[in-house]
Amino acid sequence: MQTLKLLAAIALAVLVHFIGMSFFPSLGRFVDVFLVLVALYGLRGGSLSGLLVGLLVGLLRDSLSSGPFGLFGFADTIVGYVTARLAQRLVIQRPTGVLAVVSFASVLQQAVVIGLAFLLLPAPESPSPLEAAIRAGACGLLGMAVYVVGGHWRRTSEARRRGRMSRLRLG
């Protein structure tokens, strides 16, 4: 069931990325939906599953970009692991905590990708600090929004389920 949920989440992230890019071609510059998914999964799961999901999602992201295959795979593996470890050490209950962690994950991913690009590419381009900050903030906001909506949806479905159970008992 967990695997199915994860696959559905990946499919949804891919769909959101494609739809967003087709309507707003600059979206990819400022928001990384794949990173948000990895960071949110890292917040919920263990460090092993975090790093494996990071690897999988990063490689998927790599198959869409023209850079060396494995660039985002490497970065997202680290992001998945670090986020999961952070979640084990910190108690994140407020949406603002999620915003901070996802923003940090975005900064970490950009730093790893730029570092690798300088090692592997002939003339890499590093984004301006402002652009990197906007990207981190936008990813954080998206992560927070998904967290809030997901939490609301979970609570609603839980309440519905309880209601159904109590009706069954009364009947």
Question: Which residues of this chain interact with another protein, rule CB under 8 A?
Answer: 11, 14-15, 18-19, 21-23, 25-26, 28-29, 46-48, 51, 55, 59-60, 62-71, 73-74, 77-78, 81, 116, 120-125, 127
Find the shortest distance in angstroms from Cβ 4 to another protein.
17
Residue 133's CB is within 10 A of a number of other CB atoms, namely 15
Q: Which is nearer to another protein, 8 or 165 (CB)?
A: 8
CA angle 72-11-16, nearest 5°?
80
Q: Which two tokens stand for residue 5?
A: 């949920």
Whose Cβ is closer to another protein: residue 3's or residue 125's?
Answer: 125
User: Minimum distance between the CB of residue 28 and another protein, rounded to whole angstroms?
Assistant: 5
- Give the nearest distance from C-beta 101 to another protein in angstroms: 18
Any alpha helices (H) in the chain, and if so which ranges? 2-23, 27-30, 33-44, 47-62, 71-89, 95-120, 129-170
